[in-house]
Amino acid sequence: MRKLLVYLKDYKKECIFAPLFKLLEASFELIVPLVMAAIIDKGIGGADRGYILKMGGILVLLALIGLTCSVTAQYFAAKAAVGFSTKLRHSLFAHIETLGFSEMDTVGTSTLITRMTSDINQAQSGVNMALRLFLRSPFIVVGAMVMAFTVNVKAALIFVVTIPLLSFVVLVLMALSVPLYKKVQSGLDAILGHTRENLEGARVIRAFHKEEAQTEQFHASNDFLTNMQMVVGRISTLMNPLTYIIINCATLAIIWTGGKQVYLGVLTQGEVVALVNYMSQILVELIKFANLTVSVNKGIACGNRVQEIFEVKSSMPHEVSEKGNSSPADAENYVKFDHVSMAYQGSGEEALTDISFSVKKGQTIGIIGGTGSGKSSLVNLIPRFYDVSSGRVSVDGRDVRDYDLTALRDKIGVVMQKAVLFAGSIADNLRWGNGDATEEQLWQALEVAQAKDVVEKKEGGLAFMIEQGGRNLSGGQKQRLTIARAVVKDPDILILDDSASALDFATDAKLRAALRGLQGEKTIFIVSQRTSSIQFADQILVMDDGRLVGIGTHEQLLDHCEIYREIYDSQFKKEDGQKGGEA
């Protein structure tokens, strides 16, 4: 949490003025018991109505000054706390954007969302409370003891015993509760994770009739969170009764001691009332300090969790390395894999093993293989979504690790397996890769992606508003729009990662024909489960269990690659059989 305080550096003035005005308010508050003592001893004791009215006016003036100081302090504290959380949230989001896929997979989406929202809000609340009360409460407590000594030394000794005892209770409860608040937030992560999975997978859960099992899992996580909150709550609730017992015992001691001294004429009745008021002020401030402790403890625990994300360093720095220069020998191979192996973080085995092939500029490459054979892992290495464990992936004769990430990905257009669209108009979504694209370029890209008729039928055309996640579009419509988005970018390398799986055969064939028309200087990678989608590629890569088991044209692979022939036969014999049955 301490490292996060750097985000308060632009609010130094507010961080000084907020506690300063609170101390001013506290100073005026400490004068009130003395004024009350004077009213009791001189005004009421002497039946002097004029004196009572005069001192009453002073009390009203003190109240108004205190209120002004309090409002001013709250303004500065709120400005600093909100500014702190705003800068922290911006910085955290920017840091998350720099993380590679490996770090995102390890940390988890639900955890990042919790820390971006709930944790930063708790840290903001902690900063606000600390600026307002962190100095005020101790100042009142110590100030009340000092003022008590100005009234009567013997009675003030009760304060000397009471305050350390109260401080000990507060510190012990703080030490017990701080670690538990971190566990509470971890439980909240688990709850958010279950909720997110269930909402996204609602159709799957209902299809397999797993509602009860998922409900039980959610209840288990919810019960853990509830139990942790109850434990923390029980510890925190000890604060008030323990402090009340100590304060009330101290008040009894003051009344007992003060009563004797009034009888002996050492103290006046007003001074005894002032001492009791000072003890009451200590009680009120300790209750405030208890609330402050809870809020600050939560803020510290949440701030530490946010700091943990900042300490996760990306395995893919954006800085450009000077070691990689294009060499004439490699320049003719636009994309080259040289004995590449790759393993996902935390995985015991390799996802890809010893992959070697080269692609010339303008070629179309098909990639096929069974589920889990490593097709997506292979193409994810080209834009450097993941790094190789060994070997080398090069683009235009240069190792992808030697590129600035922005420069590398500017060359590449990727259409993911899962079609992702964002809330906004169709035009806004298509311009993600090229913000300056004209409407004519958008319609051309839609025509290539076989999505022109989809957009023309929508009310408003390109201005049609897509809901979050593309909820108001079908799977095939989303896939075609994501393909169009990549085409609008006009990249040197276009990667289609099984992005036509929701399209019918006729539309898929039209899409392939349109992509062939794009070829020229574009290098295209098509990942597919269908041999019909890739059989016209210049080269076809056949993957099996993370290994490259075949490379060549469609005809060459039918002759020499058993796995490719099995995939082809399983698809085309089935289709021939269906046609024969229909005849």
DSSP 172-199: HHHHHHHHHHHHHHHHHHHHHHHHHHHH
Using pLDDT thresholds of 50, 70 and 90, give the confidence band for residue 520: low
The pLDDT, as a whole number, for residue 512 is: 81
Domain membership of residue 376 (yes or no) is yes
- Say which DSSP state 526 is in: E
Classify residue 90 as exposed, middle or buried by CB count within 10 Å of its CB (0-12, 13-18, 19+): exposed
Domain membership of residue 515 (yes or no) is no
422 and 407 fall within a common domain: no
Domain membership of residue 64 (yes or no) is yes
207 and 272 fall within a common domain: yes
Going by their DSSP bridges, the two strands 547-552 and 398-399 should be labelled as unpaired
User: Is 195 a residue whose pLDDT tops 90?
Assistant: no
Average confidence (pLDDT) over 328-334: 59
pTM: 0.70
Q: Residues near 63 by Cβ (< 8 Å), separated by ≥ 6?
A: none
Pick from 253, 62, 68, 238: nearest CA to 148? 253
C-alpha dist (Å) from residue 229 to 62, 118, 195, 295: 41, 16, 19, 14
Using pLDDT thresholds of 50, 70 and 90, give the confidence band for residue 137: confident
The domain boundary, picked from 276, 310, 344, lies at 310
User: Is 569 a residue whose pLDDT tops 80?
Assistant: yes
pLDDT in tens, 74-132: 999 999 999 999 999 999 999 988 887 888 877 878 788 888 888 899 899 889 988 88
Mean pLDDT of the chain: 84
Domain membership of residue 240 (yes or no) is yes
pLDDT in tens, 51-69: 889 888 998 998 899 899 9
Print the domain residue range for 97: 2-310
The pLDDT, as a whole number, for residue 583 is: 33
CATH number at residue 145: 1.20.1560.10
Instruction: Show the CA angle centred on residue 181, arms to residues 104 and 312, nearest 5°.
Output: 25
The pLDDT, as a whole number, for residue 154 is: 81
Average confidence (pLDDT) over 330-342: 82
97 and 189 fall within a common domain: yes
pLDDT in tens, 297-326: 778 878 888 988 898 887 776 555 444 444
What is the rounded CA–CA span in Å between residue 75 and residue 413? 49
Classify residue 88 as exposed, middle or buried by CB count within 10 Å of its CB (0-12, 13-18, 19+): buried
Domain count, the chain: 3
pLDDT in tens, 143-185: 888 888 888 888 888 888 888 888 788 778 777 876 787 688 7
What is the rounded CA–CA span in Å between residue 62 and residue 35? 10
437 and 552 fall within a common domain: no
Pick from 175, 189, 178, 184: nearest CA to 309? 189
Domain membership of residue 324 (yes or no) is no
User: Is 201 a residue whose pLDDT tops 90?
Assistant: no
CATH number at residue 551: 3.40.50.300
141 and 224 fall within a common domain: yes
What percent of the chain is predicted at pLDDT more than 70?
94
- Say which DSSP state 48 is in: -
Q: Residues near 561 by Cβ (< 8 Å), separated by ≥ 6?
A: 542, 549, 550, 552
pLDDT in tens, 218-245: 898 899 889 888 888 888 778 778 878 8
Domain membership of residue 514 (yes or no) is no
DSSP 100-122: -HHHHHHH-HHHHHHIIIIIHHH
Is 137 in contact with 289 (CB distance < 8 Å)?
yes
Is 126 in contact with 298 (CB distance < 8 Å)?
yes
119 and 73 fall within a common domain: yes
Is 48 in contact with 38 (CB distance < 8 Å)?
no
What percent of the chain is predicted at pLDDT more than 90?
18
194 and 267 fall within a common domain: yes
Average confidence (pLDDT) over 526-550: 89
The pLDDT, as a whole number, for residue 324 is: 44
Domain membership of residue 143 (yes or no) is yes
272 and 351 fall within a common domain: no
User: Is 276 a residue whose pLDDT tops 80?
Assistant: yes
Domain membership of residue 319 (yes or no) is no
466 and 538 fall within a common domain: no
User: Is 582 a residue whose pLDDT tops 70?
Assistant: no
User: Is 331 a residue whose pLDDT tops 60?
Assistant: no
Going by their DSSP bridges, the two strands 335-342 and 398-399 should be labelled as unpaired
396 and 429 fall within a common domain: no
232 and 279 fall within a common domain: yes
399 and 423 fall within a common domain: no
pLDDT in tens, 465-487: 998 888 888 888 888 899 999 98
- Say which DSSP state 5 is in: G
The domain boundary, picked from 275, 310, 345, lies at 310
Residue scoring higher pLDDT (272 or 21): 21
